[in-house]
């Protein structure tokens, strides 16, 4: 499911994420048997249910539900009751441990936030499910699913993709999930960090209207001109940009609400606030960047810092390893900035 997920099942060996011992933190519905007339299966940490007499199309518009750890149980229970009553297939992550993986900082951005997937068999069922689940899940908070189109203000998202397992080789030779074009050719089912619809896929009118509204809502308005993305993660990006008016080069640190949750339950926005506070305390040392502003665009939070030319920690450390004959430099180099920080008045006020 996730690359780092293969590191949680065993303390010593790489193993499949579904082999993690998570019995104590599984959602209550993960232990439920299949309702009468339904099939139940588990794969890759997902609990999958579908009616025995319903034929699932191989691909189409699917619904994803996102939720925080605090509201995940409610989301799973709500979708279970709704889908079973209406004969709609669905799947959900079986435990809070696996949810923590998809909501973590190092989760692939294409997978981030996906707790439940619903597979409506028709456009009519799709529209009805979106409207009715929006009401039932009102108030549930969760990270934005970057690969999808959000429906309304709640935790529902949708995208066009495969319903049943199908694979093909990508242009790079990787064996990846696939969808089939009208001419019968299998092509990669692209799950990126932005919502995209295959050019040949049919778009229902109610979805097309939502796409237009989303594009209008996200068009323009961001005052900084991004020059380069320095790093991406499920928490948000780090960008080199130019400030409005002055054209000054700055660094933007982005934080997405409810995403990038760490082991302490702190999301990206909370960590950005902590970083802001630390930088303010260390201001004036000459070895930390100055905070220029803290701002918000759309739903994302940004910390604006001065851009400082120089090398990162890794490059000088790697260049001064004992194998290069400069062991003394390897030991002394990091002491200069850390020593200045430790001896500062700000550090003594901790």
List pLDDT tens digits, range 121-144. Answer: 999 999 999 999 999 999 999 999
Q: What is the pLDDT at residue 348?
A: 46
pLDDT at 149 over 50: yes
Task: Give residues with Cβ within 8 angstroms of 306, minimum separation 6.
Answer: 250, 251, 289, 290, 292
pLDDT digits (tens, 9 = 90+) for 205-223: 999 999 999 988 766 789 9
Q: Range with the lowest mean pLDDT among 7-21, 66-80, 263-277?
A: 7-21
Of 303, 334, 291, nearest to 316 (Cα)?
334
How many whole angstroms separate alpha carbon 343 and alpha carbon 197?
Answer: 55
Q: Specify the domain boundaries for CATH 3.30.2430 within the chain.
A: 17-218
> What is the residue-averaged pLDDT of the chain?
90
**Structure tokens that stand for 302 in this block:** 């940004």
Task: Map the chain to HEC letters.
Answer: CCCHHHHCCCCCCCCCHHHCCCHHHECHHHHCCCCCCEEEEEECCEEEEEECCCCCCCEEEEEEECCCCCCHHHHHHHHHHHHHHHCCEEEEECEHHHHHHHCCCCCCCCCCCCCEEEECCCHHHHHHHHHHHHHHCCCCCCCCCCCCEEECCCCEEEEEEECCCCEEECCCCCEEEEEECCCCCEEECCCCCCCCCCCCCCCCHHHHHHHHHHHHHHCCCCCCEEEEEEEEECCEEEEEEECCCCCCEEEEEEECCCCCCCCCCCCHHHHHHHHHHHHHHCCCCCCCCCEEEEEEECCEEEEEEECCCCCCCHHHHHHCCHHHCCHHHHHHCCHHHHHHHHCCHHHHCC
How many whole angstroms separate alpha carbon 100 and alpha carbon 120?
Answer: 26
Q: In what order do the strands lie in the sheet with 59-65?
A: 38-43, 46-51, 89-93, 116-119, 59-65, 156-162, 149-151
9 confidence band (pLDDT: 50, 70, 90):
low
pLDDT at 328 over 60: yes
Choose between 321 and 106: higher pLDDT: 106
Q: What is the pLDDT at residue 1?
A: 46
pLDDT at 339 over 80: no
Distance of CA 350 to the CA centre of its chain: 33
289 confidence band (pLDDT: 50, 70, 90):
very high
Mean pLDDT in residue range 264-286: 95
Q: What is the pLDDT at residue 309?
A: 87
pLDDT at 323 over 70: no
Question: Which residue is associated with the tokens 């709640």?
Answer: 154
Choose between 328 and 267: higher pLDDT: 267
How many whole angstroms separate alpha carbon 196 and alpha carbon 178?
Answer: 15
pLDDT at 8 over 80: no
How many whole angstroms separate alpha carbon 331 and alpha carbon 317?
Answer: 9
**Structure tokens that stand for 28 in this block:** 């209550």
**Structure tokens that stand for 347 in this block:** 């550090």
Q: What is the pLDDT at residue 331?
A: 63
Q: What is the pLDDT at residue 16?
A: 72
Q: Which fold has domain 17-218?
A: 3.30.2430
How many whole angstroms separate alpha carbon 94 and alpha carbon 236?
Answer: 26
pLDDT digits (tens, 9 = 90+) for 25-54: 999 999 999 999 999 999 999 999 999 998
How many whole angstroms separate alpha carbon 255 and alpha carbon 259?
Answer: 8
Share of the chain above pLDDT 90, in %: 74
φ, ψ (nearest 5 deg) of residue 248? -70, 140
pLDDT digits (tens, 9 = 90+) for 49-75: 999 998 899 999 999 999 999 999 999
Phi-psi region of 286 (alpha: psi -120 to 50; beta: other; left: phi over 0): left
Choose between 171 and 216: higher pLDDT: 171
Write down the pTM of the prediction: 0.88
End-to-end, the C-alpha distance of the chain in Å comes to 41
Q: Specify the domain boundaries for CATH 3.30.200.20 within the chain.
A: 225-306
Q: Range with the lowest mean pLDDT among 70-74, 96-100, 120-124, 346-350?
A: 346-350
**Structure tokens that stand for 213 in this block:** 């509204």
Question: Which residue is associated with the tokens 């995208």?
Answer: 159
Domain 225-306 has CATH 3.30.200.20: yes
Distances (CA, A) of 25 to 65, 94, 259, 265: 19, 9, 20, 15
């Amino acid at each position: 499911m996730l690359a780092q997920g293969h590191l949680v099942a065993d303390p010593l060996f790489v193993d499949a994420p579904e082999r993690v011992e998570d019995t104590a933190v599984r959602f209550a519905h993960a232990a439920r048997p299949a309702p009468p007339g339904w099939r139940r299966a588990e794969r890759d940490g997902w609990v999958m249910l579908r009616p025995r007499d319903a034929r699932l199309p191989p691909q189409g518009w699917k619904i994803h539900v996102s939720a925080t750890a605090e509201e995940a149980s409610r989301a799973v229970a709500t979708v279970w009751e709704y889908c079973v009553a209406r004969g709609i297939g669905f799947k959900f992550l079986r435990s809070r441990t696996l949810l923590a993986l998809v909501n973590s900082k190092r989760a692939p951005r294409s997978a981030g936030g996906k707790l439940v997937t619903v597979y409506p068999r028709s456009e009519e069922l799709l529209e009805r499910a979106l409207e009715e689940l929006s009401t039932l899940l009102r108030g549930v908070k969760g990270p934005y699913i970057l690969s999808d189109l959000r429906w309304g203000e709640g935790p529902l998202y949708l995208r066009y993709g495969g319903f049943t397992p199908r694979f093909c080789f990508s242009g790079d030779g990787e064996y990846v999930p696939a969808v089939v074009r009208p001419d019968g050719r299998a092509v990669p089912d692209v799950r990126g960090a932005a919502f995209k619809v295959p050019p040949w896929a049919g778009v229902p009118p109610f979805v097309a209207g939502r796409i237009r509204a989303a594009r209008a809502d996200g068009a323009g308005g961001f005052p900084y001109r991004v020059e380069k993305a320095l790093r991406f993660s499920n928490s948000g990006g780090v960008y080199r940009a130019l400030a409005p008016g002055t054209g000054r080069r700055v660094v933007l640190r982005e934080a997405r609400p409810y995403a990038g949750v760490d082991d302490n339950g702190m999301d990206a926005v909370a960590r950005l606030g902590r970083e802001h506070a630390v930088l303010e305390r260390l201001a004036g040392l000459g070895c930390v960047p100055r905070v220029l502003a803290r701002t918000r665009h759309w739903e994302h939070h940004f910390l604006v810092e001065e851009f400082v030319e120089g090398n990162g920690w890794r490059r000088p450390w790697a260049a001064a390893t004992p194998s290069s004959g400069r062991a003394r430099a390897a030991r002394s180099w990091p002491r200069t900035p850390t020593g200045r920080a430790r001896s500062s008045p700000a550090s003594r006020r901790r």
